Amino acid sequence: MNLSTFLTNSRNAPRSCGAPAGGEKGRAARHGRVSVRRLPLRGMLLTGMLIVLLISCGLDVIVFLEGPRTDRIDDQGPALPIVAFRHNAQSNNVPEFRGYEVYYKFYDDDGGAGQNTFEADRNAVLASPISTGPSRLENRGYRRLRGRLPADPEGTERPRPLIGIAPADKDDSSIVVTLTFQADPDRQPPDQAIVYWPYESDERLRVLERNTGSATGKNFLPVASDRYSTADDDDLPAGLNVGVVLDRDDLAIGLFVLAYGIDSQTIREIYSEPVKLSYARLQKD
C-alpha cells in the first residue's frame, strides 16, 4: 500500500471514540440533534426560571388549628346537664382562627345499647390518621349545632361559628365555654339549652337548636309534647319509638367540638381535628 492510498483510507475510516469531527458536528446540527455540551446550560436555565417563579409567586402558608382543651363536668350523674371546654389560646392565637363549632348526634340508649354505637362512631371519627374537618362526623350521622340569640325567633340561625372568639380574646386561655342542657328558672331563657362563654350575655350566649328539617327550629328540652316526636325530626335515630322518649328518658347525645377558621389566602373554611366532648343521656328537666 502506497502513502496516497493509506491517507485516503484513514480519512474514510469510522471514528470509535473522541469528539466528533467538524464535518460530523455540522451534520448533527443540520439533522436537529442537540450537542451534549448544551444540556447542562439549559438545565441550569430551567432551574433558575423555576426558582424565580416560586419566589415571585410565593408559597402557600398552611395554617393548622387545634381543638380545645376538654373538661367533662360530670358531678351530676350519667345525665347531661353541663359540658365544658377551655379555649386553646396557645395554638389558636392566629388571625385565621374564628371560634368553635359543635356537632351532635342522638342515640337510642335503651338498655345501654347507645354506648356501643357511640364507641363505633368515635373510633371511626378518630381513626389514624385523623382527618381535619367535620366530614367524618357527617358520614356517621352527626349534625352541626345551631345557635341563635335569646331574642331571636326559633329557627333563626346566626353566622358561623357557633362560638365566636373575638380577636382581642384569642390569647386568653381562661375562657371556658359551657354548654348546659338543664332548664333553670333563674336563667333567661329558662327552658332551653344554651352555650355561653365566658359569662352569660347577649354577645356570648346562644340558644342551642337541633339541626332538623323543621323551618321553625327545635330546641333540646321537652318544653312541649312534640319536641321529639314530630314527623320532621329527622335527626333522631332510625327506628326509635319517639312517641315514648319523654317517658323512658333513654335518649342519649354524643358531642364533638372543632376549632373553626377562615384561610386568609383562599377564603375557605378550615378546621381542626374533631375532639370528643361527651356522651350521656339527655336530661329531660
pLDDT, one tens digit per residue, over 16-39 is 444 444 444 444 444 444 444 444
Assigned domain for 10 exists? no
> What local confidence, expressed as pLDDT, does residue 152 receive?
85
Single out the residue in 57, 89, 105 at which a domain terminates.
57
> What local confidence, expressed as pLDDT, does residue 89 receive?
92
Q: DSSP string of the chain? A: --HHHHHHHHHHSPP-SSSPPHHHHHHHHHTTPPPGGGHHHHHHHHHHHHHHHHHHH-PPPPP---PPEEE---TT-SB-SEEEEE--HHHH-STTEEEEEEEEEEEE-GGGHHHHHHHHHHHHHTPSSPPPSSHHHHHTT-EEPEEE-TTSPTT--PPSPSEE--GGGTT-TT-EEEEE-S--TTSSSTTS-EEESSS-SSTTEEEEEB--S-SS-B-SS-SSTTTTTSTT-TTSPTT--GGGHHHH--EEEEEEEEEEEE-TTT--EEE---EEEEEEE----
Among candidates 64, 82, 122, which has minimal Cα distance to 271?
64
Assigned domain for 149 exists? yes
> What local confidence, expressed as pLDDT, does residue 13 receive?
47
Instruction: Check whether residue 43 and residue 145 sit in a common domain.
Output: no
Instruction: Check whether residue 260 and residue 191 sit in a common domain.
Output: yes
Assigned domain for 62 exists? no
Instruction: Check whether residue 129 and residue 49 sit in a common domain.
Output: no
> What local confidence, expressed as pLDDT, does residue 113 receive?
79
Instruction: Check whether residue 35 and residue 159 sit in a common domain.
Output: no
Instruction: Check whether residue 273 and residue 149 sit in a common domain.
Output: yes
Instruction: Check whether residue 100 and residue 164 sit in a common domain.
Output: yes
Instruction: Check whether residue 127 and residue 32 sit in a common domain.
Output: no
Instruction: Check whether residue 166 and residue 234 sit in a common domain.
Output: yes
Instruction: Check whether residue 95 and residue 233 sit in a common domain.
Output: yes
Residue numbers of the domain that contains 226: 69-281
> What local confidence, expressed as pLDDT, does residue 204 receive?
83
Determine the Cα–Cα distance for residues 211 and 152; give it in Å rounded to an integer. 16
Assigned domain for 5 exists? no
> What local confidence, expressed as pLDDT, does residue 245 receive?
47
Q: pTM above 0.75?
A: no
Instruction: Check whether residue 44 and residue 86 sit in a common domain.
Output: no
Kindly calculate the radius of gyration of the chain based on its CA atoms and give it in whole angstroms: 34
Instruction: Check whether residue 74 and residue 53 sit in a common domain.
Output: no
**Spans of the chain, pLDDT less than 70:** 1-61, 71-81, 183, 185, 187-190, 199-202, 214-217, 221-232, 238-250, 283-285
Number of domains making up the chain:
2
Instruction: Check whether residue 257 and residue 196 sit in a common domain.
Output: yes
